[in-house]
Amino acid sequence: MRCLSLIQRISIAIDVAMALDYLHDHATYPIVHRDLKPSNVLLDDDMTAHVGDFGLARFLVLHDTMLSQSMTSTNGVEGSIGYIPPEYGMGGQASVQGDVYSYGILLLEMFTGVCPTDERFTDGSSLHNHVATSFPHRVMDIIDPKIFSVKNEPGDIVLTQENVYDCLVLVLQCGILCSKDSPRERIAIKEVINQLNWVRAKLLR
């Protein structure tokens, strides 16, 4: 089975973040996806990532500066276990911050190779906590080893261990900040795009 390299994973993460940024800030009305997960990220022949499956998506419509309740209510917990933000489980309304949470979990999964529903996560533990407790000094212990099994092709950039470590710390930091329990503590998707673009540029120097 073909494995994705570090730079390919970062590029995919940027593509998904840019798709969310478009949905949240550049569509006619803000749109929340509500079911962001690996199986809803599709790769084309050029390895460009596209977000698919909008079956649970909702418009966020403004009425007198208040979000329309009928358009944003979660109507019960919908989405995929492991990627649903905590506030949805407590009856919270759909929001762009909810998509950011799902993206954060997706990002952590992409770089650790661990699914958020892994059987190791019991008794209140989670993928977020798994990464946070190893951050930043032991991140190399939890990174998906398949990232480093990809053989370099002629012309590929040779990455140094120090450079890779610094970049992985920044990537996982984005995932941790996106998947905070409190929506107010999550960073904006635009900031994620800026950080990941910087990481990719650093690796490609």
Q: Which two tokens stand for residue 79?
A: 């989405």
**Which has the closest alpha carbon to 120: 149, 82, 155?**
82
For residue 136, whether the previous peptide bond is cis, meaning omega lies within 30 degrees of 0, is yes
Inter-axis angle of helices 161-178 and 189-204, to 10 degrees? 170
Q: Which residues are part of the catalytic machinery?
A: 35
Shortest CA distance to 105 belongs to which of 162, 57, 177?
A: 177
Bridge partners of 51?
A: 41
173-200 b/e (C-beta count within 10 Å ≥ 16 → b): bbbbbbbbeebeebbbbeebbebbeebb
Q: Which residue has the tokens 């208040």?
A: 66
CA distances to 89, 90, 130, 177 from 31, in Å: 20, 21, 30, 22
